[in-house]
Amino acid sequence: MSEGNKPATQFRLGNINATVWLNGRHYTTVLSKVYKDGEEWKITDQLNTDDLLNAAKCLHRAEEWVSGQ
């Protein structure tokens, strides 16, 4: 992967990730959840009720980071 394809930063709490990307002069954030299906790790954008607090905290950290740039 080239340098241009690396995220600007990433925040993780439990199985929730907020990945911040530099998109031109603007930042975008992708929220995802990792989970294990049998022996295979997978990624989804669907969250359960139990995921919401960690999602909110990750997004808050991402917003603070972007605001400081």
- CB count in 10 Å sphere of residue 24: 6
Q: Which of 10, 4, 5 is nearest to 66 (CA)?
A: 10
pLDDT at 3: 52
Pairwise pLDDT comparison (63 vs 3), residue with the higher score: 63
Average pLDDT, stretch 50-64?
98
Beta bridge partners of 27: 22
d(CA 17, CA 4): 20
- pLDDT per residue as tens digits for the range 1-45: 345 689 999 999 999 999 999 999 999 999 999 999 999 999 999
